[in-house]
Chains A and B, each alone.
Chain A
Amino acid sequence: MNWKTIKYNRYLYPALYILIIVLFIAIPYITAPYTIILLSSIFMYISLTLSWTLFSGPTGYTSLATAAFFGLGLYMAGILGDSVPLIVAVICGGLISFILAFIIGAITLRLRGIYFTIFTFGLVELIKHLMLWWEINIVGVRGRFVPRADNATVFYILLAILAALLLTTYFLKSSRYGMALSSIGSNEEAAIHIGINVVNLKIITFASSAFFIGLTGTIMATRWSYIDPYIAFDPFYSFLPPLMAIFGGLGNLFGPLLGAAVFSYLQETLITRFPYSYMLIFGLIMVITILYLPNGLIGLYQTIRQRFIGGKHADTSS
């Protein structure tokens, strides 16, 4: 391992992020409202994808529970409504997802591979129908209205969530716990036998990932203004993050980031231009990615870079 590179990156990347964040903070002042709305959407997808990658990327435990935690966040906004300041509602949305993920993790993270994946997917349906039952039988109405927040506020909160998520991912990746998470994905039995508390590490990381998903859900509810269990717990939000992460390329912080950015921009554009065939175009893009770009966009970039520098530094991953 090249320790010099790591030290260099430790200063370079945060500086880069700060620059980008300052740029983004200026955006609501200089652009049209549509740009802010588009960027907010893109931020949402990036946050969901990075949250998913935080846990599922290194450990290899493919979670399809994103929609469950996202929906809980949405519902938090619906339940709290105007009674608390928006920022408090957002944090509550994160916390409730964290707590649920913690409990779910403690029960199910002993399941491995496809069993874990199927369980997490089942969780989305379970919560959806529980909410449906609750709303119809206890509350009496199926849907809820969420008070709207203005575009700039939503944009800034999403930006803050994204920045916090990027920092968390970055520090986790460069820490011993990030290495330990990768070792779980590599060989869990070996990891536990060299003293890594794999159970706690998995649960806490899973819950942290859910925390960010919950935050994102709560703030997005103010954009959508109406929610019901079918809208809130749409399995679509479970499948998108892994798709976007694979599209960008797993194994590198920028892969999922790039994947989500490009993918969601495509989605937002395609949905307005080709409202009836955009899912078809999406499917084609995914098939092509998996067939020809097994390492995603980042892999493509690395291949091109290697061509240009003559393969002298073939290993760009470390």
Chain B
Amino acid sequence: MQILQVEGLTKNFGGLAAVSEVDFHVEEGEILGLIGPNGAGKTTTFNLIAGTYEPNSGKILFNGENLAGKKPNVICQKGLARTFQNVKVFPDMDVFQNVLLGAFFGTPEKKSRSQAKSEVEEILDFIGLSDRTDMVAGSMTLVNQKRVEVARALATKPKLLLLDELMAGLNPTEVGESMELVKRIQKKGITVIMIEHVMKAIMNICKRIIVLHHGQKIAEGTPEEISTSKTVIEVYLGE
């Protein structure tokens, strides 16, 4: 079943077409990779799906419902969560509070404090931050801030999770751990779209990859197809 269908998605910033006429779909339960050179429109695509920007035209069907033009908080409560390319934790709050906010506001129903609290404990355990719950988020290392962000997104109980460069700036060990984390998120039954520059990671965990260039989709296929595609190699390495 297709959890997300994007049809003719277009966003212009002034005269620049950041995303133009992009079509793709996401199968429920898969990990879809989104790659492309800098400025290709990857993050803009995420911003359009998550509601940060309103598209100029096109449809974003999430479980059959068009999300185009809806507010980010509404989209989040429908079960579509995201993380950010440049980490956006709440720096003055501790880890627990960061994730607790996700649990409180991420779902449409109002839950009790104790229920939210136990959900948060469970997620922190899953993500491996149980021993750092009262650390102030702003004082943590990059990899841990990214984990807090993922935990906060998971607390909103998403069906689809958008991960924007989860591996960027991490050392090889941390990249390995993060790859493991993404696979474990998939096992929970959460569909994932990930933007990534770390090719090793994306080739390893995605079954299907989409390549964007100058705001257009130029290729789609399995990691093998993408890594041998002539157009993709041209875009990345020059002719």
A residues touching B (Cβ–Cβ < 8 Å)?
A: 1-2, 176, 179-180, 182-183, 186-187, 189-199, 318
Given contacts A194-B76, A194-B152, 13 further A-B contacts (CB under 8 A): A1-B97, A176-B101, A186-B91, A189-B84, A190-B84, A190-B88, A192-B72, A193-B50, A194-B81, A194-B156, A196-B105, A197-B105, A198-B73
Instruction: Determine whether the beta carbon of B89 is less than 8 Å from that of A190.
Output: yes
Q: Contact: A195 with B90, CB < 8 Å?
A: no
Q: How far is the CA of A220 from the CA of B157 in the complex (A)?
A: 50
Q: Which residues of B contact A2 (CB under 8 A)?
A: 134
CA distance A52 to B208 in the complex (A): 53
Kindly name the residue among B90, B133, B155 whose own CB sees the greatest number of chain A CB atoms within 10 A.
B90
A193-B94 CB under 8 A given contacts A176-B105, A179-B101, A180-B101: no
* Cα of A193 to Cα of B93 in the assembled complex, Å: 17
- The answer to whether A187 and B52 touch across the interface, beta carbons within 8 angstroms, is no
Residues of A near B72 (CB, < 8 A) are 192-193
> What is the minimal beta-carbon distance from A298 to any residue of chain B, in angstroms?
16
CB distance from A297 to the nearest CB of B (A): 20
Contact A189 B101 (CB under 8 A): no
Binary interface encoding of chain B residues 90-114 relative to chain A, with 1 for a CB under 8 A from any of its CBs, else 0: 1111101100111011110000010
Interface assignment of B200: CB less than 8 Å from any CB of chain A: no
The answer to whether residues A193 and B90 also contact, given A1-B134, A180-B104 and a CB cut-off of 8 A, is: no
Question: Complex: how many Å from CA A197 to CA B74?
Answer: 8
Q: Find out whether the CB atom of B73 lies under 8 angstroms from the CB atom of A182.
A: no
Given A1-B134, A195-B76, A195-B156, is A186 in contact with B106 using a C-beta cutoff of 8 Å?
Answer: no
Residues of chain B in range 103-139 having any CB-CB distance to chain A below 8 Å: 104-107, 113, 133-134
A186 and B93 in contact, given A194-B76, A194-B153, A195-B77 (Cβ under 8 angstroms)? yes
Q: Which of A179, A195, A198 contacts B106 (CB 8 A)?
A: A195
Cβ of B71 < 8 Å from any Cβ of A? Answer: yes
Chain B contributes a number of interface residues (CB within 8 A of A) equal to 33
Pair count A-B, CB < 8 A = 82
Whether A187 touches B88, Cβ cut-off 8 Å, given contacts A1-B97, A193-B52, A194-B81, is yes
Q: Shortest 5 CB-CB distances between A and B: which pairs?
A: A190-B88, A186-B90, A195-B105, A195-B76, A195-B106
Whether A194 contacts B52 by the Cβ 8 Å rule is no
B residues apposed to A, CB below 8 Å: 50, 52, 71-73, 76-77, 81-82, 84, 88-94, 96-97, 100-102, 104-107, 113, 133-134, 152-153, 155-156
Q: Which residues on the A side are within 8 Å of B50 (C-beta)?
A: 193
Contact B90 A187 (CB under 8 A): yes
Query: Do residues A183 and B90 form an inter-chain contact, with CB atoms below 8 A?
Result: yes
Shortest CB-to-CB span from B167 to chain A, Å, is 20
A136 to chain B, nearest CB (A): 44
Instruction: Please tell me which one of the listed residues B71, B92, B94, B97 contacts residue A192 in the complex, with CB atoms under 8 A apart.
Output: B71
B109 → A minimal CB distance (Å):
11
In the assembled complex, the Cα of A10 lies from the Cα of B101 at a distance in Å of 20
Structural contact, A193 and B76, CB atoms closer than 8 A = yes
A186 CB contacts on chain B under 8 angstroms: 90-93
Residue of B nearest to A198 (CB): B73
Q: Which residues of A lie under 8 Å from residue B93 when comparing CB positions?
A: 179, 182-183, 186
Known: A180-B101, A186-B91. A192 touches B73 (CB 8 A): yes
Give 12 pairs: A residue, B residue, CB < 8 Å, sorted on A: A1-B133, A1-B134, A182-B90, A183-B101, A186-B91, A186-B92, A187-B89, A190-B152, A194-B102, A194-B155, A195-B106, A195-B156
Residues of A within 8 A of B97 (CB): 1, 179
Q: Are B94 and A194 in contact (CB under 8 A)?
A: no
Do residues B105 and A194 form an inter-chain contact, with CB atoms below 8 A?
yes
- Nearest Cβ on chain A to B106's Cβ, whole angstroms: 4
Q: How far is the CB of A252 from chain B (nearest CB, A)?
A: 13
The complex places the Cα of A1 from the Cα of B137 at a distance, in Å, of: 12
Bound: A4/B32 CA distance, A = 44
Answer whether A176 and B104 are a contact pair too, CB < 8 Å, given A1-B134, A195-B156.
yes
With A and B bound together, what is the CA distance between A180 and B102 in angstroms? 10
Q: How far is the CA of A183 from the CA of B81 in the complex (A)?
A: 17
A1 near B73 (CB under 8 angstroms)?
no
Give the complex CA separation of A187 and B145 in angstroms: 14
CB neighbours (8 Å) of B100 from chain A are 179
Q: Once the chains are docked, how many angstroms separate the CA of A306 from the CA of B118?
A: 34
Instruction: Report how far A190 CA is from B156 CA in the complex, Å.
Output: 13
Q: How far apart are the CA atoms of A196 and B81 in the complex, in Å?
A: 12
How many angstroms between the C-alpha atoms of A192 and B100 in the bound complex? 14
Q: Which of A187, A190, A195, A199 has the most CB of B within 10 A?
A: A195
Alpha-carbon distance A196/B72, docked complex (angstroms): 9
| Chain B residue nearest in CB terms to A199 | B71
A190 to B152, CA, bound (A): 10
